[in-house]
Amino acid sequence: MPVTAEPGRDVVLTLSSPDRPGIVHAVSGVALEQGLTITDSQQFADPSSGEFHLRMELRRDGDGAQGRPATGPAGIADLRAAFAPVGERFGAQWDVHDRAEPHRVLVMVSRMGHCLNDLLFRARNGQIPITVPAIVSNHEDFADLAAWHGIPFHHVPVTRDTKPQAEQRLRELLAKHDVDTIALARYMQVLSPQLCADMSGRIINIHHSLLPSFKGARPYTQAHDRGVKVIGATAHYVTADLDEGPIIEQDFRRVDHRLTPEQLAQAGQEVEAAAFSRAVRWHAEHRVVLRGGRTVVFN
Ligand SMILES: Nc1nc2c(c(=O)[nH]1)N[C@@H](CN(C=O)c1ccc(C(=O)N[C@@H](CCC(=O)O)C(=O)O)cc1)CN2
């Protein structure tokens, strides 16, 4: 069931720092001082990196208790001010996020619409806390679907020669719609290294194989030729290195020798959409910690 959060009252604190005793104690102490109830808390002390990662869901009790605003940007700003000394003390990367502020996700698609369709449905019914301000495609196949959802659709054709202009148009739309994250819902064009760098950790792609197997084009043909007994999908952050970005979520299903590459592709659509929608939701809910080439996911 979708969780309805209240603006400024329901917040998420995310923190990563070198591991040492006292971090949770310090954070929960500030929560107590600020009249916050801890409604969920997950942490991971990574033995391979020596880092400590924390995700805490907090609710401010009362309406403006002790004169503090319970809602709105002021609520977030004063909570950030309150937690700042703890962040400083532990040398942490941290932030406080308003759970009621929907993540603004621009979705890109080419000619396969199953991931787009699943994401739009889940966003519409509140299962995923995102707003989709625009859909961009290098084809016109899903203009009707966008219209049904009442979402602006931008056809931005791409050829080898027009890629720079197409990406400039994309950048204009990112700025116009104040986009937080780009979701590539089976968008089949390679993004430039510059855009990947500018949007590092903010572009999510669904690749239709269990990476690192079967990178690049036609992964189901590669899988068929290898005689696989499971197929799957990988949602990952996008980097300049094609299909090499940090993995967020994977899903799979069993198959056998009877399926052709086309039938494998058909069978894979369900797991692709499931993995993609979970990855976008976890990202929007600040559950994904991106550290180097790996992720920690508090799901
Ligand atoms: N910089 C990146 N861009 C994209 C990534 C990525 O990881 N880094 N993922 C892809 C999605 N993808 C596989 O999941 C993929 C898309 C496109 C291609 C490709 O060879 N595209 C050709 C054009 C193909 C066509 O016109 O149909 C190209 O861009 O020249 C391979 C893999 C999304 N982008």
Q: Name every protein residue with a CB atom under 6 angstroms from any ligand 1 atom.
A: 184, 187-191, 196, 205, 207, 216-217, 238, 240, 242-243, 245
Architecture of the CATH domain 11-98: 2-Layer Sandwich (3.30)
Give the model's pLDDT for residue 118.
98
At the topology level of CATH, where does 103-297 sit? Rossmann fold (3.40.50)
Q: Is the pTM higher than 0.90?
A: yes
Cα–Cα distance for residue pair 249/260, rounded to 1 Å: 26
CA of 205 to the centre of ligand 1 (A): 10
DSSP state of 290: E
Which portions of the chain are predicted below pLDDT 50?
Answer: 1, 64-65, 69-71
* CA separation, residue 34 to residues 60, 69, 95 (Å): 8, 11, 16
Which tens digit of pLDDT belongs to each residue from 156-213? 999 999 999 999 999 999 999 999 999 999 999 999 999 999 999 999 999 999 999 9
Q: Are 128 and 279 in contact (CB under 8 A)?
A: no
**Domain range summary for the chain, segments of one domain joined by +:** 11-98, 103-297
